[in-house]
Chain A
Amino acid sequence: MVDANARPAFGRAALRVFDLGLGQMLWSRRTVFMALIAGGPVLIAALLRALASLPTFDAGAGQIGGRAVSLDGPDIFGLMIWTFYLRFTVPVLGVFYGTALIADEVEDRTITYLFTRPVARGAVLAGKYLAYLACTAVVVLPSVTIVYFLVVPLLGGSIGRNFPALLVDLGLIGAGLAVYGAVFALVGAWFRRSLLTGLVFVFGWEPLVVVLPGYMKYLSVAYYLQGLAPHAMPQGDALSVIQALLTSVQTPLATWVNLAALALIWTVALAAAMRAVERREFVLGQ
């Protein structure tokens, strides 16, 4: 005899919510935002490729219309991984989707329907988080791969020789999406103004603390994530120059330390987010 009051197991419940959440995330207007973010670098890469095929491009001298192009394909790819993915796409998607996991349901006043189902509240968050990971990975990782194949062959770069770096990049971006998503799921579950808190953390706190001497930088995700990047750090603005200078005089953390720190942040943030969702009373505004 089936017990009508029995709750489905946590894993099964999370998978059901994942199934529901994935459909909502993929077929919403927000996907346009994600496609724009992931499609932008592809467009730039295609433009660079088109420029390289123009008659004004002198591959031997490394010039376009007489203007020097100082980097080769793999370097340009490394630069794009830093400026577009590590510093922009990964944290922005983490903030946008991570904070929305619970905040959207509160804003749309649909959280009541989710919480009245016979599933653990933590499973709701876990399922939605898995949907976020799948959704962003499906869009962002192919974008990185396309950029790789468009950019790396430029100016004599070898696709085969640089392939291991691509795999590292894909792993790094996947890890970044997972950790930022977990951190901002916690922010979304805790704070009322979660988006603003997330934006301040990503664009105010993190760029500042990674250039400060001392231990402040350990209170960020970017420090550990950037420590794993296989490419040289670009030096465009003043903060990047300071960061590169500090990196050159400080002993970098070992790869396993960076990985362990990211794993710790991920575990603590996700567990705390689930606990917050389990315990918090969400008040729907007028």
Chain B
Amino acid sequence: MPIHDHGYARYAGVRTQPGRAWAVIAGAGIGRMLSARPFLLVLLFAWLQFFVRAVMFYLAANVPQADVIAPSPATFRDFFDDQGFFVFVVAVYAGAGSIANDRRANALQIYLSKPLTRVEYIGGKLAVVMAFLALVTWAPALLLLVMQTMFTGSLSFVREHAFLVPAITLFAFLQVLVASITMLALSSLSTSARYVGMLYAGAVIFSEAVFQTLRGVTGGGTGLSWVSFSASLAQVGDVIFRVEPRYDTPWGVSLLAVALVIALSAWVLARRVRGVEIVA
């Protein structure tokens, strides 16, 4: 039908309340990631440990000779340790290009010229990475707890270890937040997702290499574990799950190291995600 009247028309759509725009970015990001088949394969692999442990829980609940593999709070702690590699892979896959690609396409200025604040933009991007990381950490860990209850047909394990649900939730949130915000901060520093992925791998592995060297020099002493941010996170995790801390570093120092990483990443994001480039 031809358009006869090019005159002004008042917007008749629904006005979204301020502060909700992050959900649009998050939804679009999650949808885009879910449409990538290789990423779904990565998620499937990340759930392998869940299936293996579920079988072990079944055997422990139903075969009297399999008592040795019966779950304990340490089992759930180990689950998070073993998921560390997938946290790394999913963080690189989902997060490396999240801001870098927008910067590369000069889309950041377009985003921020809309009714969208910087906080909403960062929140939306953060939500995408955090959602997928929670899907490979928090969700399978909680589901394992549910499976344990289902297989034994009793709530006694959950009652005896009532701290497990909050511990799983708190540690998963901490692990996911550290990985996501660090990745986003690095992503805001470059226009190349490949470079960002490498920077993240470098930061994680290099800090671990420094710790291992210092550990060797000091004859196996682990008091300097705070130099590695994965070791710091592991130390805090041990305290949250009420298992023996693996390093000599006071857990408060490890928590401070983790908090510093989060604060530094937030500062980098605040400096780098701007609608205009400020040239000094």
Residues of chain A touching chain B, judged by Cβ–Cβ distance below 8 Å, are 29-30, 33, 36-37, 40, 44, 48, 67-71, 76, 79-80, 83-84, 87-88, 92, 95-96, 99-100, 103-104, 107, 193, 195-196, 199-200, 203-204, 234, 236-237
Contacts of A200 in B (CB 8 A): 89
Of B4-12, B118-126, B213-221, which binds chain A? Answer: B213-221
Q: Find the A residue at minimum CB distance from B36.
A: A193
Contacts of A203 in B (CB 8 A): 85, 88, 201, 205
Q: Is the CB of A199 within 8 A of B92?
A: yes
Contacts of B206 in A (CB 8 A): 37, 40, 88
A sample of 29 inter-chain contacts (CB < 8 A) reads A33-B198, A33-B202, A37-B206, A40-B209, A40-B210, A44-B210, A67-B218, A68-B218, A68-B219, A70-B220, A71-B219, A76-B213, A76-B216, A79-B213, A79-B216, A83-B212, A88-B206, A92-B198, A100-B194, A107-B192, A107-B194, A195-B198, A196-B93, A199-B201, A203-B88, A204-B85, A234-B212, A236-B215, A237-B212
Which 6 A-B pairs give the minimum distances between C-beta atoms? A70-B219, A236-B212, A79-B216, A83-B209, A83-B212, A96-B198
User: Majority SS of interface residues in chain B?
Assistant: helix
Contacts A68-B219, A69-B218, A83-B216 given; indicate if A196 touches B89 (C-beta within 8 A). Answer: yes
| Chain A CB within 8 A of B38 CB | yes
Q: Is the CB of A99 within 8 A of B194?
A: yes
| Chain A CB within 8 A of B140 CB | no
Residues of chain B touching chain A, judged by Cβ–Cβ distance below 8 Å, are 38, 85, 88-89, 92-93, 192, 194-195, 197-199, 201-202, 205-206, 209-210, 212-213, 215-221
Q: Find the A residue at minimum CB distance from B192.
A: A107
Contacts beyond the supplied A67-B218, A69-B218, A203-B201: 16 A-B pairs with Cβ under 8 Å: A44-B210, A48-B217, A67-B221, A69-B217, A71-B216, A71-B217, A71-B219, A79-B213, A80-B213, A88-B205, A92-B202, A95-B201, A196-B89, A204-B89, A234-B216, A236-B215
Q: Is the CB of B197 within 8 A of A84?
A: no
Q: Find the A residue at minimum CB distance from B221.
A: A67
Q: How far is the CA of A69 from the CA of B216 in the complex (A)?
A: 9
Q: Is the CB of B209 within 8 A of A30?
A: no
Q: How far is the CA of A67 from the CA of B217 in the complex (A)?
A: 11
Nearest-CB distance from A66 to chain B (Å)? 12
Contacts of B201 in A (CB 8 A): 92, 95, 199, 203
Q: Is the CB of A195 within 8 A of B216?
A: no
Q: How far is the CA of A203 from the CA of B208 in the complex (A)?
A: 13
Nearest-CB distance from B88 to chain A (Å)? 7
Q: How far is the CA of A87 from the CA of B221 in the complex (A)?
A: 21
Contacts of A199 in B (CB 8 A): 88-89, 92, 197, 201
Contacts of B199 in A (CB 8 A): 33
Contacts A67-B221, A76-B217 given; indicate if A36 touches B202 (C-beta within 8 A). Answer: yes
Contacts of A99 in B (CB 8 A): 194
Contacts of A234 in B (CB 8 A): 212, 216
Contacts of A83 in B (CB 8 A): 209, 212-213, 216
Q: How far is the CA of A29 from the CA of B100 in the complex (A)?
A: 15
Contacts of A69 in B (CB 8 A): 217-219
Contacts of A204 in B (CB 8 A): 85, 89
Contacts of A100 in B (CB 8 A): 194
Nearest-CB distance from B49 to chain A (Å)? 13
Nearest-CB distance from A26 to chain B (Å)? 16
Q: Is the CB of B213 within 8 A of A37?
A: no
Q: How far is the CA of A71 from the CA of B212 in the complex (A)?
A: 14
Q: Find the B residue at minimum CB distance from A88.
A: B209
Contacts of B212 in A (CB 8 A): 83, 234, 236-237
Nearest-CB distance from A85 to chain B (Å)? 9
Interface hub of A36, A99, A104, A195 (most chain B Cβ within 10 A): A195
Q: Find the A residue at minimum CB distance from B190.
A: A29
Q: Find the A residue at minimum CB distance from B88.
A: A203
Nearest-CB distance from A14 to chain B (Å)? 24
Q: How far is the CA of A67 from the CA of B218 in the complex (A)?
A: 8
Contacts of B195 in A (CB 8 A): 29-30, 33
Contacts of A88 in B (CB 8 A): 205-206, 209
Q: How far is the CA of A23 from the CA of B194 in the complex (A)?
A: 20
Nearest-CB distance from B89 to chain A (Å)? 6
Q: How far is the CA of A104 from the CA of B195 in the complex (A)?
A: 10
Contacts of A30 in B (CB 8 A): 195
